[in-house]
Amino acid sequence: MLAKIHITLKKDVLDPQGSVIANSLKSLGFDGVKDVRQGKYIEITLDDNDKDSAIKRLDEMCEKLLANMVIEDYSVEIN
C-alpha cells in the first residue's frame, strides 16, 4: 500500500520560500501568480492491508515525526 503525504505550513504561518518563489515566477513573466506555498511530499510504502489502520498509523507518524505540528499541517492520501 502506497501512502502519499503532503506537508505544508499552516495557513497563517509565514512562508518565506513561497513568497520568494512567487516573486521569481512573476519576474520570469508568469503573470497571474497570486500566491505560492511550498511544502514537502513524502511517499511511504506500507505492508498494511487495512486502510483504516494504515491511516491511523500514518497520522501518528505525521504527528510524531514527519510534520512539525506547531507550524505545519499534513494530509494523507492512500492508493
Q: Of 29 and 52, which CB lies nearer to another protein in the complex structure?
A: 29
Q: Which is nearer to another protein, 2 or 13 (CB)?
A: 13
CB 59 within 8 Å of CB 78? no
Report in angstroms how near the CB of residue 43 gets to another protein at its nearest: 19
Q: How many CB atoms lie within 10 A of CB 74?
A: 20
Q: CB of 77 within 8 A of CB of 56?
A: no
**Residue 30: CB minimum distance to another protein, A:** 11
3-state secondary structure string, 47-65? CCCCHHHHHHHHHHHHHHH
Binding residues (CB under 8 A) for another protein: these are 9-17, 20-21, 23-24, 27-28, 38, 68, 70-71
Q: Which is nearer to another protein, 2 or 71 (CB)?
A: 71
Q: Which of 76, 6, 12 is nearest to 38 (CA)?
A: 6
Q: How far is the CB of 48 from another protein (least distance, A)?
A: 28
